[in-house]
Amino acid sequence: MKDDAIIYVVDDDQPSRKAVLTLVQAMGVRSEGFASAEEFLSAYDGHRPACLVTDVRMLGMSGLELQEQLNEMGITISVVVLTAFASTPTTVRAMRNGALTLMEKPCDDDELWDAIRTGLAADLQQYEQERRRKSIQHRLDSLTPKERQVLQFIVAGDANKVVARKLDVSIRTVENHRHKIFHKMEADSLAELVRIALAAGISVDPQE
């Protein structure tokens, strides 16, 4: 588990909130508690990896409404939902909102910790994937329109002379474009360049 991981506990019931915070702290993980969803939303700074543990029924915004607000904001941290009033509609809504799990209060400490640990691992994986996607998109955005077109031909498997003929330019021009593409995309091999391009959704059809 990463040293900078954090657990956010949102529950308007102070004893319940303290119990979860005590459990998390005993496991050596940083945690922060909030008495309302509004308080959490006001304080959250986008830190990742993280896991949010929230109660369903709270004064003001409910835990389910908090999930939906986070979704609207594009915040994708893992969420564990707790409730003393479990019902099928509540469970379905929580899971549709992307909850990792819904657990009934009072929770078994081992089961709750397992859920939190799973949430942190999932959030770390998703966070790293998001960072990679953003990095690739940043590199793609640095390409000129012509370089991007040449990249599409490369992904399609065309040799330099074929690309030169299709673009009606010299092979030397295509080679210059390729050199710049490899540099900007930070690729050390053709295989790596193709992998990055495909991961970014580059079309194999330069006409698209």
CB contact set of 155 (below 8 Å; sequence gap of 6+): 194, 197, 198, 202, 203, 204
Would you state the structure tokens that stand for residue 109, as one six-digit string?
């400490």
> What 3 state SS string does 48-84 have?
CCEEEEEECCCCCCCHHHHHHHHHHCCCCCEEEEEEC
- Band of residue 132 on the pLDDT scale cut at 50, 70, 90: confident
Q: What is the structure's pLDDT at 208?
A: 42
Q: What is the structure's pLDDT at 48?
A: 86
pLDDT tens per residue across span 26-53: 999 999 999 999 999 999 998 889 999 9
Of 18-27, 55-64, 191-200, the range with the lowest mean pLDDT is 191-200
Q: Is residue 130 over pLDDT 90?
A: no
**DSSP letter, residue 202:** -
Go through the domains of the chain in sequence order and give each one's CATH number: 6-133 (3.40.50.2300), 142-199 (1.10.10.10)
Q: What is the structure's pLDDT at 68?
A: 96
Q: Is residue 13 over pLDDT 50?
A: yes
Torsion of CA 11, 14, 16, 18, to 10 degrees: 100
What is the Cα–Cα distance from 27 to 41, expressed in whole angstroms? 25
Q: Which helix (H) or strand (E) holds 46?
A: none
Q: pTM of the prediction? A: 0.70
